[in-house]
Amino acid sequence: MKKTTIHEIAKALGIDSSTVSRALNDSERVKPRTKKRVLEKAQELGYTRNMLASNLRRNKSNTIGVIVPRISRYFFSSTIAGIEETAYKAGYSVIICQSREDVNRERKIISNLMANRVDGILMSVTMETKDSSHLTECFEKGMPLVFFDRHVEGMNQTGKVVIDDVKGGFEATEHLIKQGCRKIAHFTAPLDVEIYKNRHKGYCMALEKYSIHYDKNLVYISTLLKEDGYFLAEKIVNECDGVDGIFSANDFAAIGAMNFLKSIGKKIPEEIAIAGFSNEPTSAVIEPSLTTVDQSGTEIGRLACNLLLDYFKNGNTLVNNKTIMIQPKLIVRDSSQKKSNFKEMRLNIGFK
């Protein structure tokens, strides 16, 4: 099944293929009447421009590469949705790849995207990405790179869209303190990942503000899966007396912890108050509903994509070291409100 080319259109009309090309691109170098004839013939022959050829010639693929740890995470899939929407409007396609938290895979993906000559890359790094040689290679080779959410410290040659994790962590922790918690555990992931480092920092700042002693034994590092939360909660209950609050750096671990606590009949929030991070859809649905920090994935995706598109238009200046920081929003729900508040409860049952 061979496709029609501009040459066949040209031959059919007895004109040159360059004229056909210009006509199809609506160049003012072609007489309106000729344009019309070309367009009609193209239609008639079922012509579809071969973007491979076009891209090769123009040295531009009109494609953006996106790398996330896992597509099926709600936060990331909504980020992707925001990216796709923005890219689509601007006439770009998006190639989606998942690193699955594996740096080697991340490395391969990047070289693959480079080979495919994507115009730019949007990415959220894996938890293991410390050595960033494959990333520095990107802009050494002139490939624009914008981080969103998970980024790498010290990589200032690119743009970033991040949320103010310090503030998010601070507010969640402060809220727990204000609700009366005095011994607050913190679930987090390896602290060399910027976002977890910052959420942890916010946690520390809140403790300090209220003169609560920072106890490093209360900080649990894991991969923050639901299972991790479940077993860490079990550990806390068995080994660590008097914990009256948990701030988890993501919702999954928080939900896992809630599952365990509910299974042994601990009262949430009366005995242990809980706050998560990310506002996953399940957080609104679980009972008690989970207090969390909202970070709009769709919005982050849009902003990151726009940052890249700006770069395409206006060159280096805009992206270079530009950081867009989104303000997180604490969403207070039932898992943390020791003094229950009927009105607020009603509101927070509602639709997300």
Partner DNA sequence: GAAAATAATACAATCGATTGTATTACATAT
Partner DNA sequence: ATATGTAATACAATCGATTGTATTATTTTC
Residues forming contacts to DNA in the complex (CB under 7 A) are 2-3, 5-7, 14-19, 21-22, 24-25, 29-31, 33-34, 47, 49-50, 53-54, 56-59
Q: Does 234 bind a copy of itself (CB under 8 A)?
A: no
State how beta strands 145-148 and 120-123 pair: parallel
Residues 25 and 289: their CA atoms lie apart, in Å, by 55
CB of residue 226 vs a copy of itself: minimum separation in angstroms? 6
30 binds, among DNA, a copy of itself, none (CB under 5 to 8 A by kind): DNA
Structure tokens at 294: 């909202």
Q: Does 3 bind a copy of itself (CB under 8 A)?
A: yes
223 binds, among a copy of itself, DNA, none (CB under 5 to 8 A by kind): none
Lookup result for tokens 């080319």 = 5
Q: Counting beta carbons within 10 angstroms of the beta carbon of residue 53, is it exposed (0 to 12), middle (13 to 18) or buried (19 or more)?
A: exposed
φ/ψ of residue 67, rounded to 5: -125, 120
Q: Which is nearer to a copy of itself, 47 or 203 (CB)?
A: 47
Q: Which is nearer to DNA, 7 or 130 (CB)?
A: 7
264 binds, among DNA, a copy of itself, none (CB under 5 to 8 A by kind): none
Q: Does 250 bind a copy of itself (CB under 8 A)?
A: no
Residues 238 and 7: their CA atoms lie apart, in Å, by 77
CB of residue 286 vs a copy of itself: minimum separation in angstroms? 5
Q: Are 146 and 304 in contact (CB under 8 A)?
A: yes
Q: Does 151 bind a copy of itself (CB under 8 A)?
A: no
Residues 178 and 244: their CA atoms lie apart, in Å, by 12
Q: Which is nearer to a copy of itself, 63 or 173 (CB)?
A: 63
In the set 18, 27, 93, 223, which binds a copy of itself (CB under 8 A)? 93
Count of all residues that appear for the chain in the document: 352
Residues 90 and 84: their CA atoms lie apart, in Å, by 10
Options 12-20, 87-95, 174-182, 185-193: segment touching a copy of itself (CB under 8 A): 87-95
CB of residue 29 vs a copy of itself: minimum separation in angstroms? 23
Q: What residues numbered 312-351 form the site for a copy of itself, per CB under 8 A?
A: 349, 351
The two most distant CA atoms of the chain are separated, in Å, by: 88
CB of residue 48 vs DNA: minimum separation in angstroms? 7
Q: Are 255 and 229 in contact (CB under 8 A)?
A: yes
Q: Does 88 bind a copy of itself (CB under 8 A)?
A: yes
Q: Are 182 and 338 in contact (CB under 8 A)?
A: no
Strand partners for 120: 64
**Opening angle at CA 332, ends 327 and 338, nearest 5:** 145
CB of residue 120 vs DNA: minimum separation in angstroms? 18
Q: Are 233 and 225 in contact (CB under 8 A)?
A: no
Give the total of residues touching a copy of itself (CB under 8 A): 56
Residues 332 and 292: their CA atoms lie apart, in Å, by 7
Residues at the interface with a copy of itself (CB under 8 A): 1, 3, 46, 48-53, 55-56, 61, 63, 70-74, 77-78, 80-81, 84-85, 88, 93-98, 111-112, 114-117, 141-142, 226-227, 230, 255-256, 259, 262-263, 281-282, 285-287, 297-298, 349, 351
